[in-house]
Structure 1
Amino acid sequence: MTRQGAPHPDAPEQAHTDFTRSLSYGDYLQLDILKSAHQPVTAAHDEHLFIAVHHVSEVWLELIIRELRAAMTQLEGGITDAPLKGLTRVVRAQEQLTNAWEVLKTMTPADYLQFRHAFGQASGFQSAAYRHVEFLLGNRHAVLLKPHEHRPEVYGPLQADLLAPSVYDLTLRLLSARGLAIPSEVLARDLTLPPVLNEDVLAAWLQVYRDPEHYWDLYELAEKLLDVEDNFRRWRFNHMTTVERTIGFKRGSGGTSGAAYLRRALGTVLFPELWEIRTRL
């Protein structure tokens, strides 16, 4: 108490407690709606963990999509410094996604088998948010749209991302606009296909990396893109090891070969020239 008998300004009694006419924490975040989505279909204890980890992961994926789109809009406008903030936020969110696997790894195979049968063919392979992230980063295969054909409101935006330039396509267009020699066939490539290493593009990046002071903004952008792909690989690796220690090499619920499919996916390279340049410098 203060000398005058009034509560100390730091006392909990000073906190606002009447929310009849204003938003509370729970109201603002719509926690009732959020919690209502947590609906296990069995009595298995670890199904709660399984759902929680996937719910949280979907929220982080949505944030990553938002930040990637913002950065890509800036790149399309020729801006190179502002996208670094958004891409840094993507990297931090990716770290949270990767750490989520560590929580899920506390679930043993026996725990998982208590409820695995209950969700049938549902699988993270069908995550539209994850597919958006892949498409925005340039990992593209039209067949990956098929699990979403039954939902036009999901299929349409995914198809749009498949047909639009990726973050790396926009970066290469920026290099071209800055006078670096990016081949016309690369700038006009089939955007529905994943990128492949191009020697002329590699030569352009070598020019940047051999004179970073002159091309500092492009050099810094390239390194930030590597951060994004590095974390993308870590997420995939943790996903694979989590699956291996939970179900071994059984087929995945979504119909893929499970851990074997994920292991093969580890070979995906999003920004091939940015990795190859380390060898060529």
Structure 2
Amino acid sequence: MTQPPRKPEDIVRDEGAQLDYSQSMSYGDYLQLDAILGAQKPLSPDHNEMLFIIQHQTSELWMKLMLHELHAAIECVAKDQLGSAFKMLARVSRIMEQLVHAWDVLATMTPPEYSAIRPYLANSSGFQSAQYRCIEFALGNKNAAMLKPHAHRPQLLAQVQAAYEAPSLYDESLRLLARRGLPVPASHTERDWTAPYVESTQVEQAWLVVYRDPQAWWDLYQLGEELTDLEDAFRLWRFRHVTTVERVIGFKRGTGGTGGVSYLRKMLDVVLFPEIWKLRTDL
């Protein structure tokens, strides 16, 4: 027997009976939204400070995920588990794209709007981001001076120090090439991991073996391209950072004591995986 169509008010009443979450974990409970959405504490009376805070808080959340993926990817490369590593590295590149677009939102802040909140920032600066420093160290840009901004926070310093002392993603990639029988010199597989990376003709020759015969070295060839994608995305992130800062504050010094735009422009010249880029000319 055909049932009569249900009235809208009956549907709403029945559905509403299923919406009592007082006895179980809710969406807000699972995501800890009270803590997250209550973490915005503007110090100035200016309307635009909320944008500035949320921009940086969300960036830190994305960086937390980036480090989660990077650490796992480095471990997978060290264990020759390249399939899993590729998935993680691709995700890191997409996270960086997300962070690139985030600068578009901050760029809506005009110089007068930023000037209204700047006195309230004291010496706080993105330069002091421990997570960003760990990302740079994990990607191989090692610099002992970058430990100092975290010296006043022993727990944070320990995290940054650990990243500083560990082999980078590129270090583990070169060790993998050596394990596969490619001619990577010992100077680049067993070295002081805290030292800045030094470009090597021998390392480039090892990568050239891979790139001249991709079918024979397919997974290592794909690793090289994942590294290329990653650095490409990182360069875009840095570039949008520079242009956004210049747009908002010009060439004023940064609140953290750096030269601001002049410092950020120098960072654009840092090449993380130099042989991966040079081989394109020499192929």
CA contact (8 A) 1:243 1:259 kept: yes
Counterpart Cα distance in 2 of 1:66 and 1:170: 17
Deviation of 1:3 after TM superposition, in Å, equals 2.8
CA contact (8 A) 1:7 1:13 kept: no
Deviation of 1:188 after TM superposition, in Å, equals 1.8
Equivalence map 1:52-91=2 (5 Å): 52-91=54-93
Counterpart Cα distance in 1 of 2:174 and 2:260: 34
1:137 alignment partner in structure 2 = 139
1:250 alignment partner in structure 2 = 252
Q: Find out whether 1:14 has 2:39 as its counterpart.
A: no
Deviations, residues 130-166 of structure 1 (Å, cap 9, x unaligned): 0111011111101101111111111112111111100
Counterpart Cα distance in 1 of 2:33 and 2:53: 16
Counterpart Cα distance in 2 of 1:231 and 1:12: 50
1:230 alignment partner in structure 2 = 232
2:148 alignment partner in structure 1 = 146
Q: CA 1:229 to 1:12, structure 2 compared with 1: closer, same or farther past 3 Å?
A: farther
Q: CA 1:177 to 1:7, structure 2 compared with 1: closer, same or farther past 3 Å?
A: farther
2:164 alignment partner in structure 1 = 162
Bigger Cα displacement from structure 2, 258-267 vs 78-87: 78-87
Deviations, residues 216-265 of structure 1 (Å, cap 9, x unaligned): 00000110111111111000000000010111111000000000100011
Deviations, residues 103-130 of structure 1 (Å, cap 9, x unaligned): 0000000000001010111000000110
Root-mean-square deviation (CA, aligned residues, Å) is 1.8
CA contact (8 A) 1:194 1:270 kept: no
Deviation of 1:45 after TM superposition, in Å, equals 0.9
Give the letter aligned to residue 94 of structure 1: M
Give the letter aligned to residue 29 of structure 1: L
CA contact (8 A) 1:7 1:14 kept: no
Deviation of 1:196 after TM superposition, in Å, equals 2.2
Counterpart Cα distance in 1 of 2:157 and 2:141: 17
2:97 alignment partner in structure 1 = 95
Q: Which ranges of structure 2 fall in alignment gaps of 5 or more residues?
A: none
Give the 3-state SS of the residue equivalent to 1:207 in structure 2: helix
Deviation of 1:13 after TM superposition, in Å, equals 5.3
Q: Which ranges of structure 1 fall in alignment gaps of 5 or more residues?
A: none
Counterpart Cα distance in 2 of 1:28 and 1:82: 27
Give the 3-state SS of the residue equivalent to 1:134 in structure 2: helix
Q: TM-score under structure 2 normalisation?
A: 0.95
Counterpart Cα distance in 2 of 1:229 and 1:7: 55
Give the letter aligned to residue 203 of structure 2: V
Q: CA 1:43 to 1:197, structure 2 compared with 1: closer, same or farther past 3 Å?
A: same
Counterpart Cα distance in 2 of 1:248 and 1:5: 64
Counterpart Cα distance in 1 of 2:175 and 2:155: 30
Deviation of 1:25 after TM superposition, in Å, equals 1.1
Q: TM-score under structure 1 normalisation?
A: 0.96
2:108 alignment partner in structure 1 = 106
Deviation of 1:189 after TM superposition, in Å, equals 2.3
CA contact (8 A) 1:145 1:159 kept: yes
1:23 alignment partner in structure 2 = 25
1:5 alignment partner in structure 2 = 6
